[in-house]
């Protein structure tokens, strides 16, 4: 079983204890054996992957390799990759072969990483369980009767099942952090604009952000070093000095490495609301993790995010509005699915979209078109944007009293497949703790913090703008004294 972190794999490759071709083949063999059960990958192309691995071995042999050279990674199927089928988990793009690379893909290619394949996801990233995918639901490796979370469920399941050492994901309302929590991974959503969105198929443009998913904070830091950076092709990309997100992770420290750190505990995260409150077993694990942080020298202080209770309502106005606009490009004319039979141009539009989109995508397009329509824009969309500003202001005020905010990532452990599929509101509430972070554009991450009845739970860490390095360090300190992130699902040897 392959259990090494990225740094250990890089050392093995540099020391010629294994070649990239051999390492890639080990993962491809495991994918071939387990993917029919887990359904984590939509597209695997062994020929392309092994060709990249051979090129990486040549770089390593010439002494030109970097830390990620030869490392196999899984890529969420929302990133365009030249020559690869890029479906976004949809029928609409079921046969789309991308003619270009997303910036994230290009950066990993330039670093010499190997693309193992494209991972399954909720259709157009719309979902919290990975059940809306046209290619079928992904199964949680910890219990294949349960969901892995969404929309980056395929990436989460791939890493949890050791089909890949790490993967990319995207987070619009918790889609990296929630599946990371349900699959016992470390997942990071960076500050909006830190990672380029160029070539990342848009769901809600003001909310979408790419980030890494791996087993540890250290691995996420190494991946973010490659993913982050200004991109002139993305109008929302931020032109900032380059950071080394792993620089402070292993700095020497005493018995209290987090002395002076103030952890904010929002009273809204720890409430007893039956509809949105955290389950007792998950909350117990979160409290235990906070106790561990106190041992590391951190201080906890109560804070308040009074407008967080409005975050789900605001999100499900703003995100569908942006989705209805972004998805208007899929009309059956230029690329994507086209209905086989139609009478005229309007009929082709209607039938192609009706047949090409799934139920959840149609639901959000309808909501979005409604809230943007004449007579409703001011009542819904404009009000939601005002609430978004209030939520961001709450975080600004909170960070005057603390350095990092912590709480649950998800209100429960992984739920059963089909359990919430017929109740969209309950499904939406799965992201109650994560959505506000996207509305504010802040960085957030989830780290494993224990097991409840054999299922993983996640602790969420939220940082101030551009606080990724601090978040990763705080997470790494916890992982140095605990072993939750090292556990893997039984029965998948």
Write down the catalytic residue from 19, 133, 152, 175.
Answer: 175
Please indicate whether residue 196 is annotated as part of the active site.
Answer: no
Please indicate whether residue 279 is annotated as part of the active site.
Answer: no
* Angstrom distance (rounded) from CA 213 to CA 83: 24
Locate 386 and state its tokens.
């005002």
Cα angle 441-445-449, degrees, rounded to a multiple of 5: 155
Write down the catalytic residue from 19, 49, 76, 129.
Answer: 76
Please indicate whether residue 151 is annotated as part of the active site.
Answer: yes
Write down the catalytic residue from 90, 128, 151, 352.
Answer: 151
SS (H, E, C) the chain: CCCCCHHHHHHHHHCCCCCHHHHHHHHHHHHHHHHHHHCCEEECCHHHHHHHHHHHHHHHHCCCCCCCCCCEEEEECCECCCCCECCCCCCCCCCCECCCCCHHHHHHHHCCCEEEEEECCCHHHCCCCCCCCCCCCCCECCECCECCCCCCHHHHHHHHCCCCCCEEEEECCCCCHHHHHHHCCEEEECCCCCECCCCECCCCCCCCEEEEEECCHHHHHHHHHHHECCCCCCCCCCCCCCCCCCCCCCCCCCCCCCCCCEEEEECCCCCCCCCCCCCHHHHHHHHHHHHHHHHCCCEEEEECCCCHHHHHHHHHHHHHHHHHHHHHHCCCCCCCCCCCCCCCHHHHHHHHHHHHCCHHHHHHHHHHHHHHCCCCHHHHHHHHHHHHHHHHHHHHHHCCCCCEEEEECCCCCCCECCCCCCCHHHHHHHHCCCHHHHHHCCCEEEEEEEEECCEEEEEEEECCCCCHHHHHHHHHHHHHHCCHHHCCCCCCC
Question: How many beta carbons lie within 10 A of that of residue 261, not counting itself?
Answer: 20
* Angstrom distance (rounded) from CA 162 to CA 148: 14
Burial category of 223 from C-beta neighbours within 10 Å (exposed 0-12, middle 13-18, buried 19 and up): buried
Residue 85 bridge partners (DSSP):
97
* Angstrom distance (rounded) from CA 183 to CA 414: 8
Report, as residue numbers or ranges, the catalytic residues.
76, 151, 175
């Amino acid at each position: 079983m392959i259990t090494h972190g990225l740094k250990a794999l890089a050392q093995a490759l540099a020391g010629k204890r294994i070649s990239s071709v051999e390492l890639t083949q080990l993962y491809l063999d495991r994918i071939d054996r387990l993917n029919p059960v887990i359904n984590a990958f939509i597209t695997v192309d062994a020929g392309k992957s092994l060709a990249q691995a051979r090129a990486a071995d040549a770089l390593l042999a010439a002494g030109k390799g970097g830390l990620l050279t030869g490392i196999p990674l899984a890529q969420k199927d929302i990133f365009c990759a030249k020559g690869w089928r890029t479906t976004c988990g949809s029928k609409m793009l079921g046969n789309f072969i991308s003619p270009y690379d997303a910036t994230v893909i290009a950066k990993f290619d330039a670093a010499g990483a190997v693309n193992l394949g494209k991972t399954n996801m909720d259709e157009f990233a719309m979902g919290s369980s990975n059940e809306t995918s046209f290619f079928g639901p992904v199964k949680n490796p910890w219990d294949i009767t349960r969901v892995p979370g969404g929309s980056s469920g395929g990436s989460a399941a791939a890493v949890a099942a050791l089909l890949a050492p790490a993967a990319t994901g995207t987070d619009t309302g918790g889609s990296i952090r929630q599946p990371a929590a349900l699959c016992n991974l470390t997942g990071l959503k960076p500050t909006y604009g830190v990672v380029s969105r160029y070539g990342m198929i848009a769901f809600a443009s003001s909310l979408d952000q790419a980030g890494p998913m791996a087993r540890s904070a250290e691995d996420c830091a190494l991946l973010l070093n490659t993913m982050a950076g200004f991109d002139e092709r993305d109008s929302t990309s931020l032109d900032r000095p380059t950071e080394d997100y792993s620089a402070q992770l292993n700095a020497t420290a005493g018995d209290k490495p987090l002395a002076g750190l103030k952890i904010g505990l929002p009273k809204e995260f720890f409430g007893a609301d039956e509809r949105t409150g955290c389950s007792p077993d998950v909350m117990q694990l979160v409290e235990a993790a906070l106790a561990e942080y106190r041992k590391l020298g951190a201080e906890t202080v109560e804070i308040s995010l009074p407008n967080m209770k409005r975050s789900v309502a605001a999100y499900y106005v703003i995100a569908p509005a942006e989705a209805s606009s972004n998805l208007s490009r899929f009309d059956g004319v230029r690329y994507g699915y086209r209905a086989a039979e139609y009478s005229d141009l309007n009929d082709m539009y209607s039938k192609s979209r009706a047949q090409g989109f799934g139920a959840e995508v149609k639901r959000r397009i309808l909501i979005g078109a409604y809230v943007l329509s004449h007579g409703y824009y001011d009542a819904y969309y404009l009000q939601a944007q005002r609430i978004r500003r209030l939520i961001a202001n709450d975080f600004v005020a909170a960070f005057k009293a603390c350095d990092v905010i912590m709480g649950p990532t998800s209100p429960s452990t992984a739920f059963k497949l089909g359990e919430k599929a017929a109740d969209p509101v309950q499904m939406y509430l799965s992201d109650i703790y994560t959505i506000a972070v996207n509305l504010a554009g802040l960085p957030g991450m989830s780290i494993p913090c224990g097991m409840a009845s054999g299922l993983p739970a996640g602790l969420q860490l939220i940082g101030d703008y551009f606080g990724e390095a601090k978040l990763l360090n705080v997470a790494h300190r916890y992982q140095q004294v605990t072993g939750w992130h090292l556990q893997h699902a039984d029965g998948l040897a």
